[in-house]
Amino acid sequence: MVLDLFVREPFPFKEMSERAVRMDIGGITVPVCAIKDLIAMKQKAGRAKDLEDIKYLQGLLETKHED
């Protein structure tokens, strides 16, 4: 499992925390960044890997809206 941690707060944490999705991971409920917030962070970073990730994440959003 990969877990990203931030040394500096790259976004308004309180607002993002309110939009987080609660997920069960191995019997522990953890807040996970909402897809739209993750896309915004990756756009800000702008690395080639992030741009590829954005395409995948946008596809998840489109699939989610079709349900």
Q: Would you say residue 55 has pLDDT above 70?
A: yes
Any domain includes 60: yes
Domain ranges, residue 17: 13-66
Any domain includes 27: yes
Mean pLDDT (whole number) for 14-39: 92
Any domain includes 5: no
Mean pLDDT (whole number) for 51-63: 93
Any domain includes 46: yes
Select from 43, 26, 28, 33 the least CA-distant residue to 6. 33
Q: Would you say residue 4 has pLDDT above 80?
A: no
Cα distance between residue 1 and residue 58, in whole Å: 22
Enumerate the β-bridge partners of residue 29: 24
